[in-house]
Amino acid sequence: MAVLETPAAGSRRKGPFYTELYFQVLAAILVGGFIGHFYRGEPWIAEYLKPLGDAFVKLVKMIIAPVIFLTIVIGIAGMRDMGRLGRVVFKAFAYFLFFSTLALVVGLIVANVVQPGAGMNIDIATLAAGDVSRVQGFEAASQDYTLVSFLLNIIPDTFVGAFTSGNILQVLFLSIIVGVAMALVGDRAEPALNVLSSVATVIFRVVGILMRAAPVGAFGAFAFVVSSQGLEAIQNLAILILSVYATSILFIIIVLGAVAAWAGFSILKLIRYLKEEIFLVLGTSSSESALPALMDKLERAGCARPVVGLVVPTGYSFNLDGTNIYMTLAALFIAQATNTPLGLDQQIILLLVAMLSSKGAAGVTGAGFITLAATLAVFPSIPIEGMAIILGVDRFLSECRALTNFIGNAVATVVVSRWEGALDKEKLRSALNGAPAPLAAQPIEQDAD
């Protein structure tokens, strides 16, 4: 049977604390924040530092497609059980639907209790023309991402096009087809499986090399955010920001924590295990920047390779807990700030619209703001021009969305693995308790626990 060794960026031997990636990323964020604050608005930051963050995100996105393709194809081809594949997909989507809807409901409840926009009394006509123009651009973009166009866009134009489009779902679609085909071919596909396993070993080594550039990327990205937005933007909309962050934290600790406890692990230990990736997401405001490392770490923590390969990339498009919390909170914040009354029936309709629109723009860059625009465009009771109110702080809110989405998908993968009986509990316990990740090669198909 073919084997696949996937050395992770975080699997090296422990050294002094300053050699650890999470410490380097955290230090880079702090230094970047100081420089961005004290050199507020300086053009050289946008010219020289911002490209550092952009370049790192591009490097990671470059490697995402082959990581997903190889992981899924090797996992499914080794599974040889199409019934099990169907069960994993069904359980994953059942989980996504329930908790994504719950996140929308939680955001709606918090917005009604806290009422972050109450008393602002903003007149739409007084908003800056430039901000309103940018919002109208987001509204136009959101109209291109209807549910039908989204479903059609899952199918790539060409085989190679799936790898160049930047659409994770196209890679996922192609990977499942190829993996199923190899599983049906059986033993005759073994030579191809061995080749893919060898290529995957190299690709994961590339991931480890790229992760060493994470502090540089986080430094440049965070310096630009603070320099361009400034602390004043945070102060002016502090209640909304605190509401989104507090709600997301409580959702992670209470809701996801309860799910994790049911699955037999601690949410806090999982967060500690993924601290390097979490700091990376914080620095780049992009959960995609940590996707390859997340898949590798979850597999090392005992989750079966086929489950990781299916749940993680799919969850990046359909399991957006942080984005959903933000959507209902931000929508009601705009309504409250512009004195737009919404009854319970209207809020329920808003919730249903958000459930659909959040799927219609899944996988789109800047999806949080675009999905909000799509929701308000379909739900005209709330003036879409009001999005200009939160435009200045959206980058700070995007960090919270990305972090919550990232942690939510990590939890989902472990839970679905346990649900499917494809979780090595001893390996999970060892990984979450801080034991070194194993470097030995693992078989493609993992026995159920």
How many structural domains are present in the chain? 1
Q: What was the pLDDT predicted at 376?
A: 75
Check if the beta carbon of residue 415 is closer than 8 Å to that of residue 263. Answer: yes
CA-CA distance, 184 to 25, in Å (whole number)? 44
CATH of the domain at 251: 1.10.3860.10
* pLDDT score of 232 more than 60: no
| Cα 20 to Cα 22: distance, rounded to the nearest angstrom | 6
Question: Is the separation of the CB atoms in 291 and 60 below 8 Å?
Answer: yes
Q: Which residue has the higher pLDDT, 440 or 192?
A: 192
pLDDT exceeds 80 at position 357:
no
Residue 268's pLDDT is what? 94
Measured CA to CA in angstroms, residue 150 lies from 88, 282, 356, 362 at distances of 23, 28, 11, 8
DSSP string, 276-312: HHHHHHHHHT-GGGGHHHHHHHHHHTTB-HHHHHHHH
Q: Which of 10-24, 190-204, 285-299, 413-427 has the lowest mean pLDDT?
A: 10-24
**Percent above pLDDT 70 for the chain:** 76
9 within domain boundaries: no
Domain-embedded: residue 8 = no
Please report the pLDDT score of residue 360 as a whole number: 45
Q: Is 388 contained in some domain?
A: yes
Q: Report which of residues 385 and 65 the model is more confident about.
A: 65
- SS3 state of residue 176: helix
Closest CA to 329 of 401, 221, 231, 408: 401
DSSP summary character for residue 392: G
| Residue 234: predicted pLDDT | 59
Rounded distance between C-alpha atoms, residue 21 and residue 41, angstroms: 29
Residue 161 in this model has a pLDDT that exceeds 60: yes
Residue 411 scores a pLDDT above 90? yes
Lowest-pLDDT choice from 7-16, 199-208, 261-270, 309-318: 7-16
Our measurement of the distance from residue 144's CA atom to the centroid of its chain's CA atoms, rounded to an integer in Å, reads: 22
- Average pLDDT value for residue range 102-126: 81
> What is the average per-residue pLDDT within 317-335?
86
- Report pLDDT for 367: 59
Quick one: which of 353, 373, 365, 382 has its CA closest to 140?
A: 373
Residue 6 resides in a domain: no
225 in Cβ contact with 36 (< 8 Å): yes
Q: What residues does 127 pair with on adjacent strands?
A: none
What's the chain's length in residues?
449
Mean pLDDT, residues 26-31: 83
The whole-number pLDDT of residue 420 equals 86
Which domain, by its residues, includes 427?
A: 15-435
Least confident range from 228-242, 305-319, 327-341: namely 228-242
Does residue 328 fall inside a structural domain? yes
**Residue that wins the pLDDT comparison between 106 and 238:** 106
Distances (CA, A) of 308 to 118, 416, 419: 43, 9, 13
In this structure, is residue 139 part of a structural domain?
yes
pTM for this one? Answer: 0.71
The answer to the question of residue 1 being in a domain is no
The helix (run of H) or strand (run of E) holding residue 421 is none
The answer to whether the Cα torsion of 357, 358, 359, 360 is positive or negative is: positive
User: How does residue 20 score in pLDDT terms, banded at 50, 70 and 90?
Assistant: confident
Which pLDDT tens digit goes with each residue over 390-402? 766 677 788 888 8
Query: Is residue 449 domain-resident?
Result: no
Q: For the chain, state the CA radius of gyration.
A: 22
Question: Looking only at Cα atoms, what is the longest distance across the chain?
Answer: 69
Helix count (H) and strand count (E) of the chain?
21, 2
pLDDT at 7: 45
pLDDT higher at 62 or 138: 62
State yes or no: pLDDT of 355 exceeds 60.
yes
What residues have CB less than 8 Å from 45, skipping those under 6 apart? 35, 36, 39, 223, 224, 227, 228
